[in-house]
Amino acid sequence: MSAKKSKPAEKKTAKSAAKPAPAQPAEKTKKTYGVLRGLHDILPREEKYWKKYYRAAQGLAEYFQFGRIETPVLEEAGLFVRSIGRGTDIVEKEMYLFEDRDGTKVALRPEGTAAVVRAYLSNGLWNQAQPVKVWYWEPMFRHERPQAGRYRQHYQLGFETLGVKDPAVDAELMLMAYNLYAAVGLPVEMHVNSLGAPEERERYAAELVSHYRSKRSYLCEHCRARLIKNPLRLLDCKEEQCQPVKESAPQLIDWLGEDSKGYFMKVLEFLDELSIPYVLSPYLVRGLDYYTHTVFEIYPAASGAAESAGAGAPAAGETAGAKPAAPGSQSALGGGGRYDLLIEQLGGKPTPAAGVAIGLERAISELKHYVEQNPSLAPTDDKYQIYFAQLGDDAKRQGLRIIDQLRSSGIKPAFNFFKNSLKNQLETANGLKVSYVVILGQKEVQDKTVIIRDMESGVQEIVDQKKLEAALKRKLGLS
Ligand code: AMP
């Protein structure tokens, strides 16, 4: 039988199976389950976005020599309390805390750095050549109030460099983040600040408290609490009534000593050299306690950074607050900084380190938004080189073997074993824009041949199955 003739009647059931599944009517007696509040499923239709970032991240990690690390989702709760800090939102309100069966207090990992430091210490990575450079791609858990861009489980991509203090490290991490977005076509900018050394930060915090205290009656309820618990977080407040107090607040950079200022200037010089757009952001403090010196966040590019990019770092001694940034409360696409005290705080020797974390759901949502205005940047599904069409049960059996042989020879066919009509399969092949379709009908099964159809000319050629790989490679220009 020739492939053209074989066209079994399409059954209704087969057709309806190809349509998107309608919501299944629930049996009245059975409870149905939805996803928990604040959580979300990631479906195959999203895969092209995730892949685009994953491939970019993997390529960067390989190029800049970061090794993959994966830590457990569960850690002792104390690890996060001690590292992130008691007065922070994450520890106070957002951690998923459980008592394990043996009574140990455990937490679902809310962020990656503390777990990486724990792994650095418990696996003796401090004993290897430094710096140790690692990257992760992992889910994080925070019991936040669900809203756009805030999930209770979300993915973060992180790069961490442990064991070295050098402005080149801070710059390299910002370059990684910048490059990641460049790879998917998204223009971003860095918002940068320095928190200085702990003593400088403490002196500044005292100054900040005295400024805010004098204006206490204007403050929101949360800021009144922050005044006592975590003064630096006063600068994070988005309440309108607190903004005038913030605008007249002292700036951290003015409290930095010469060394800290010098270090920060060197970081900025790297950014200039790399032409990474940045905005000096004097009120950027980040929501975690373990940061020292450089801190930064990544935002979708706005005009502000374009002005300051390449404008040069402020001269030493000059207040680096000339271009205050006003990032939206939830638009940060990522953030990071230096955490020189954390390793010691968690029981190791004093060891400097720095890192960056990128929120992937936000990165994807920002990319989708950007693609609406720039359709050429839309990620595409993976391309197939050929389509494999089969007609009947015998052809399916031989077909699966042939497809698997093609896989090991590096040819990627699209196929659907649950479509039985040739017309239907050719239409799909047409939609996928493949140049060739390999057709296996009853006759070809008997003869151990296949038909190769050139989709542009419609010309068909019968080829021995043993010679299929070579014939396809020749046609696809792979040999
Ligand atoms: P953080 O260290 O808290 O700044 O988190 C790093 C990045 O993860 C942020 O810049 C966001 O892009 C992302 N992120 C943080 N929390 C959430 C959340 N609840 N849902 C989605 N993304 C988040």
289 lines ligand 1 (CB under 6 A): no
Residue 147 DSSP label: B
DSSP secondary structure code for residue 91 in this structure: I
Over residues 221-228, the mean pLDDT reads 89
What is the CA(438)–ligand 1 centre distance, in A? 47
Predicted local distance difference test score (pLDDT) of residue 307: 39
- Dump pLDDT digits (tens) for 125-170: 999 999 999 999 999 999 999 888 899 999 999 999 999 999 999 9
pTM beyond 0.75, yes or no: yes
191 lines ligand 1 (CB under 6 A): no
Q: Which residue is associated with the tokens 């077909």?
A: 399
Q: Give the Å distance between the CA of 111 and the centre of ligand 1.
A: 9
**Cβ of 269 less than 6 Å from ligand 1:** no
Q: Read off the pLDDT of residues 378-410 as tens digits, 9 standing for 90 and up.
A: 998 778 999 999 999 999 999 999 999 999 889
What number does the ligand 1 atom closest to the CA of 357 have? Answer: 6
Q: Is 300 in the pocket of ligand 1 (CB under 6 A)?
A: no
Over residues 350-364, the mean pLDDT reads: 97
Sheet containing 105-108: give its strands across.
74-76, 105-108, 97-99
Q: What is the mean pLDDT of the chain?
A: 88
415 pLDDT above the threshold of 50: yes
For residue 34, how far is its CA from the centre of ligand 1 (angstroms)? 24
CA distances in angstroms from 158 to 58, 70, 303, 373, listed in the order given: 11, 11, 27, 28
Nearest CA to ligand 1 atom 21: 150
**Model confidence at 25, in pLDDT bands (50, 70, 90)?**
low
Q: Residue 333's closest CA among 354, 357, 359, 356?
A: 359
Exposed e or buried b per residue across 25-41, where buried means at least 16 C-beta atoms within 10 angstroms of its C-beta: eeeeeeeeeeeeebeee
Q: pLDDT for 205-217, tens place per residue?
A: 999 999 999 998 9
Residue owning the nearest CA to atom 4 of ligand 1 = 335
Question: Does the pLDDT at position 432 exceed 60?
Answer: yes
| Pocket flag, ligand 1, residue 335 (CB < 6 Å) | yes
> What proportion of the chain, given as a percentage, has pLDDT over 70?
88
In the three-class reduction of DSSP (H, G, I as helix; E, B as strand; rest coil), residue 450 is classed as strand
Cα atoms found within 13 Å of the Cα of residue 170, Cβ hemisphere only: 29
Mutate which of 80, 88, 145, 150 for ligand 1? The one with the most ligand atoms within 8 Å of its CB, which is 150
Residue 21: per-residue pLDDT: 56
Tens digit of each residue's pLDDT (9 = 90 or more) over 305-336: 443 443 333 333 333 333 333 334 457 999 99
Asked whether the predicted pLDDT for residue 8 surpasses 90, the reply is no
204 in Cβ contact with 255 (< 8 Å): yes
Give the helix ranges, DSSP H, for 92-247. 112-122, 167-184, 198-213, 221-229, 243-247
Q: pLDDT grade, residue 450 (50/70/90)?
A: very high
Tens of pLDDT, residues 229-278:
888 889 888 889 999 999 999 999 999 999 999 999 999 999 999 999 99
CA 362–ligand 1 middle distance (angstroms)? 8
- Nearest atom in ligand 1 to the alpha carbon of residue 336 is 2
**Which residue's alpha carbon is at the smallest distance from atom 8 of ligand 1?**
359
